[in-house]
Amino acid sequence: MLFTWAEWQDKLRLAFPSDENYGCLLMEMLACRARYGDSLEEYFYEKIVLLNRCNISGKNAIDCILFGIEDRSVKTSAEAAQFTEPDKLLVYLRNVKNAKRPDKINTTLQASNSDNKRNVNNFHKNNFGSKYVKPKCYNCGEEGHPYFKCKLGGPYFSTFEISPGHFVIRLYTS
| SS3 at position 38 | coil
Chain segment 157-171, per-residue pLDDT in tens: 556 667 776 766 666
Contact 41, 92 (CB under 8 A): no
Query: Of 46, 35, 12, whose CA–CA distance to 4 is shortest?
Result: 12
Q: Is the pLDDT of residue 44 over 50?
A: yes
Q: What is the DSSP letter of 147?
A: G
Contact 77, 89 (CB under 8 A): no
* Phi-psi domain of 122 (left: phi exceeds 0; alpha: psi -120 through 50; beta: other): alpha
Predicted local confidence at residue 116, as pLDDT:
45
The larger pLDDT score, comparing residue 105 to residue 50, is at 50
Average pLDDT taken over every residue of the chain: 75
**What is the end-to-end Cα distance of the chain in Å, rounded?**
65
Predicted local confidence at residue 157, as pLDDT:
54
Q: Is the pLDDT of residue 62 over 50?
A: yes
Predicted local confidence at residue 86, as pLDDT:
92
Q: What is the mean pLDDT of residues 94-123?
A: 52
Rounded (5°) CA angle 49-54-59: 85
Q: 118 pLDDT band (50/70/90 cuts)?
A: very low
The larger pLDDT score, comparing residue 75 to residue 170, is at 75
Predicted local confidence at residue 80, as pLDDT:
93
Q: From CA 154, how far away is CA 36, in angstroms rounded?
A: 40
- Across 88-97, 108-117, 122-131, the highest mean pLDDT is recorded for 88-97
Report how far apart, in Å, the C-alpha atoms of 173 and of each of 87, 143, 148, 151 are: 65, 16, 13, 11
Q: Is the pLDDT of residue 121 over 50?
A: no
Q: What is the mean pLDDT of residues 63-92?
A: 92
Predicted local confidence at residue 105, as pLDDT:
45
Predicted local confidence at residue 59, as pLDDT:
94
| SS3 at position 93 | helix
Strand partners, 46: none
Phi, psi of 121 (to 5 degrees): -65, -35
